Amino acid sequence: MNKRRNVYLNMKPLEEAREIVRSQVPVGDAPGTEEIPVPEAVGRILAEPVFARLSAPHFNAAAMDGVAVEAASTFGASAARPIELEIGRDAIYVNTGHVMPGGTDAVIMIEQIHALGESRIEIDKPVFPWQHVRKVGEDIVATELLFPQNHIITPYCVGALLTGGIFKAPVKKKPKVLIIPTGSELFDWRQQSLDKFKPGQVLETNSFMLGSLVEKMGGQYDRHEMLADDHDTIKQVVEAAVADDYQLILVLGGSSAGSEDYAKDVIFELGNVLVHGVTIMPGKPVVIGSVGDKPVFGIPGYPVSAIIAFEQFVRPVLNRMLGQTETSASRVDVEPTRKIASKLGVEEFLRVKLGQVGDRIVATPLPRGAGCITSITEADGVIRIPNHVEGIKDNETATAELMRPLSSIKQTIVIVGSHDNTLDVLADRIKVRYSHLTLSSSHVGSMGGLMAIKRGACHLAGSHLLDTQDGSYNVSYIQKYLAGMDVRLVNLVYRDQGLIVQRGNPKHINGIEDLTGQDISFINRQPGSGTRILLDYHLGQLGIDPEQIPGYRHEEFTHMAVAVAVLSGTVDTGLGIYAAAKALDLEFIPVVTERYDLIIPEEHFQSENIQLMLEIINSSDFKKRAEKLGGYSTAKTGEIIL
């Protein structure tokens, strides 16, 4: 097979591609019907309407403890003229749920009876016919419709079906989906040890993730063993799958425009390619087609692209197979914490963290790369930026599709600012102690945190801004940038900052003065971060021009990202905290011990959620876990500085 690059011809806008899926993608034969025990049917879809076989109740039943009577025998009773009834003749004792004795049609509650010995009672109030009686069919009448076709069975439905005498449910068989992971770079984590995992290889995870989505949708999946990038092999597997009893086929990877991306060619040679490329980001390389009467999709290899392609195009097909309609996600108006640029001509699915600050829902963008699976797992919502705009302006409202309930988002503590590893400990301890609360942190640097406080876009900010005049931290910056705002400053930790280097320190780096060496590559933090300010201060003290440092303009946003860059060999060193070096078993050259604080506006400081967070911070459990990370002191943790 000659290797050549595919070309995206006539890429479709999202709605046009979805309309093609609705109108042109076949769904083949229905999956069929099966009968399964009702207790096992939760989540399944009824293949036909279900009618009750029994009435419920199927006898007239007492609804109260008391005596069963003929209502007419009580007429005229009053406090002034009570009526006496003889037990066994005029009245019969019953308990709740008992069959009503013959000739009776009402129950007098036990509390309204005055006993006159063992055989006679007195009543001072009449009852009307069928009072306190559950009549035959009060709940369900035999032959009535319990649930229509295409109804999804819930745990509550189980009770109704069984009560109505239905013990087996006629449900639609689950659509069978074959998932075929392709790519010579794939690594099978189930059969190989991670110590054999080499640069250039990729863990094969998409098939399991998409398979779980298929199951959540009501389908079932088989996973084919991984295939290398070989056109003929992929073609043979797809052809065999079409001939089998699968209703839908997903080819993972190979949908892009590379020379070893064969999904489009295979679908074209065996059937019909309806769409190759959609103007969305992530998810652009999706292939939509059919072979015979079965839908076949080429799914992008990057995990976020794969998820979006599945949700936008595969899910509607599964819904059609199961007779279900598309449901729309709940939406809410949000205010992004900063201006967001986007590419014209492409509809972007921007993943965001959300939290309610005051009377606003604020949105902080997550990493936008199609390979960043955590941008989905950490996301509270998605902002869809239309293809005809270049992004979201400052102070512009946007609409977010919710991925978590709004009630949960309202119980989110939003922290914006400098990154620190103890924030992960804090988030975990909050969730353990107070499961309704969530700590959502966004890493934009200390100055970015101050600006977020100023805009009212967060509950608190993490900061370690060094005042180069007197060596203090944060106070002078608060006075300058948050003048007039009533804020509290609470110490979280003291921490060691220094140069992170590879094991053995192969470049023999001893301090910041060595960064000018031409054989030493450096990675910096973003402007406005406390670490960047710290570095620039020391460079000034040493009389070093930043431009003399190879990599000074190369920036990352977290200490862990700096440590990973060193571990991977991308750079020789970067300035970061000891905990990041320790976490990745790297060496550390101390530069300074600094104070990392939380800046909290007074309006939020007194709130219940912030007080619960401060309770955690002051706990011995949090302090022990923070110190265990390495390079931290909690001697003043929780101390209110301002």
Tell me what the mean pLDDT of segment 437-456 comes to: 93
pLDDT exceeds cutoff 90 at 556 = yes
DSSP letter for 176, please.
E
pLDDT exceeds cutoff 70 at 267 = yes
Q: Which residues pair with 84 in a beta bridge?
A: 122
Of 328 and 239, the structure prediction assigns the larger pLDDT to 239
Measured CA to CA, the distance from residue 499 to residue 592 in angstroms comes to 10
The confidence band for 518, taking pLDDT boundaries of 50, 70 and 90, is confident
Would you tell me which CATH number, out of the four given (3.40.50.1580, 3.90.180.10, 2.40.340.10, 3.40.228.10), belongs to the domain 331-410? 2.40.340.10
CB distance 383 to 366 below 8 Å? no
Residue 589 CA, chain-centre distance (Å), reads 39
Measured CA to CA, the distance from residue 162 to residue 241 in angstroms comes to 39
Q: What is the pLDDT of residues 200-230, one digit of tens each?
A: 999 999 999 999 999 999 999 999 999 999 9
Domain 331-410 and domain 443-633 have a common topology: no
CATH hierarchy code of domain 443-633: 3.40.190.290
Per-residue confidence (pLDDT) for residue 30, from 0 to 100: 72
Tell me what the mean pLDDT of segment 58-72 comes to: 97
Handedness of CA 296, 298, 304, 305 (dihedral sign): negative
* CATH architecture assignment, domain 61-134: Beta Complex (2.170)
Distances from the Cα of 635 to the Cα of 32, 346, 611, angstroms: 67, 51, 20
CATH hierarchy code of domain 33-56+139-172: 3.90.105.10
Q: What is the pLDDT of residues 92-135, one digit of tens each?
A: 999 999 999 999 999 999 999 999 988 999 999 999 999 999 99
Average pLDDT of the chain to the nearest whole number:
94
Q: What is the pLDDT of residues 164-179, one digit of tens each?
A: 999 999 999 999 999 9
- Using the structure block, give the residue that is written with the tokens 């309204």: 112
Tell me what the mean pLDDT of segment 395-414 comes to: 94
Measured CA to CA, the distance from residue 131 to residue 70 in angstroms comes to 10
Tell me the domain boundaries of the chain: 14-29+175-321, 33-56+139-172, 61-134, 331-410, 443-633
The pair phi, psi for residue 73, each rounded to 5°, is -75, -10
Measured CA to CA, the distance from residue 166 to residue 38 in angstroms comes to 8
Question: Within 10 A of 537 (CB to CB), how many other CB atoms are there?
Answer: 15
DSSP letter for 473, please.
B
Tell me what the mean pLDDT of segment 4-14 comes to: 70
CA-derived radius of gyration, the chain = 34
Tell me what the mean pLDDT of segment 132-161 comes to: 97
Domain 14-29+175-321 has CATH 2.40.128.260: no
Per-residue confidence (pLDDT) for residue 1, from 0 to 100: 43
Per-residue confidence (pLDDT) for residue 260, from 0 to 100: 63
- Report how many helices (DSSP H) and strands (DSSP E) the chain contains, helices first: 18, 37
Helix ranges (H only) for 468-514 are 475-481
Per-residue confidence (pLDDT) for residue 259, from 0 to 100: 52
Per-residue confidence (pLDDT) for residue 338, from 0 to 100: 82
